[in-house]
Amino acid sequence: MNFFSYRARSITPYTAGEQPAGGFVKLNTNENPYPPSPRVAEAIASFDAARLRLYPQPNADILRDALAASEGVSRENVYCGNGSDEVLALSFAAFFDAERAACFADVTYSFYEVFAAFFGVRTAVVPLKEDFSPDICGMRAADCGGYFLANPNAPTGMALSAAEVEAFVASVPNRLVVLDEAYADFSGESCVPLTQKYANLLVVRTFSKSHSLAGMRCGYAVGDAALIEGLFRMKAPPRASRRSRTPHIIGRRSPAS
């Protein structure tokens, strides 16, 4: 007897890369070979394990506030997820579908294709240019509802300047640009400030790479409050008949009831 749903049957399972024990730098996952800041170790050492008996804040508001302060935005502009992978996955689910295609480069973060397939999102794949830079004109011409753009791109390492990103975002006001800044700290330029100016820009960032905290699984998005609300809808869909989200959240917190 196969109990798989249609969706589970139609998916080719993702095979995670090998995690060899000790002494290796894994280039394919771009793990940071250096340890995180000593202040991370201090914070972990001072953590009161008794707090783990409580469920966490459902929306991670303490972290959202801290990120909002450091990024110069408001809490309503920040969404925190289980790694930026979860934020990217929810972006596919919240903003794209079979009609509204997601456009991305042929050589880019391989999970875009995986998430699109999982959520039944149509894709428009545009080849990189000969010098491996993104073909902005080709992307603009694509039949799509928006874009996933890794900047710098992975695995090519090519980056658009903030001015180039701005020109692109401004030229497609009716399409969403999801800018994946997993490696932006290495290029020294983030486009987060542009989210204050453009409601069609969602910047996704992670603690996994430059902060050397891949094991913590913490990523976040910064963008217009309406986009952040879209991500929350996918995370914990409120029941249609409820006027308030509160009973839903209490339900999640009390699994035995």
Q: What's the min distance (Å) between Cβ of 209 and ligand PLP?
A: 7
Give the residue closest to ligand PLP by C-beta.
Answer: 83
For strand 78-82 and strand 218-223, is the pairing parallel, antiparallel, or unpaired? antiparallel
By beta-carbon proximity to ligand PLP, the closer residue of 25 and 250 is: 25
The closest alpha carbon to 133, from 153, 148, 147, belongs to: 153
| Distance between CA atoms of residues 12 and 17, nearest Å | 15
Toward ligand PLP, which CB reaches closer, 112 or 198? 112
Asked if residue 152 has a cis previous peptide bond (ω within 30° of 0), the answer is: yes
* Shortest distance in whole angstroms from residue 4 CB to ligand PLP: 26
Contact yes or no for 169/195 (Cβ under 8 A): no
Residue numbers at the binding site for ligand PLP (CB under 6 A): 29-30, 83-85, 109, 150, 154, 180, 182, 206, 208, 214, 219
Q: For the packed helices 111-118 and 83-95, what is the interaxial angle rounded to 10 degrees?
A: 50
> What residue ranges in 151-200 does DSSP mark as E strands?
176-180
Closest separation in Å from C-beta 30 to ligand PLP: 5
- Shortest Å, Cβ 108 to ligand PLP: 7
Q: 200 or 208, CB closer to ligand PLP? A: 208
Nearest distance from C-beta of residue 199 to ligand PLP, angstroms: 23
Nearer of residues 33 and 173 to ligand PLP, judged by Cβ: 33
Closest to ligand PLP by CB, 155 vs 238, is: 155
Say if CB 228 and CB 94 are below 8 A apart.
no
Which tokens hold the place of 86?
């979860």
Q: Say if residues 159 and 189 touch (Cβ distance below 8 Å).
A: yes
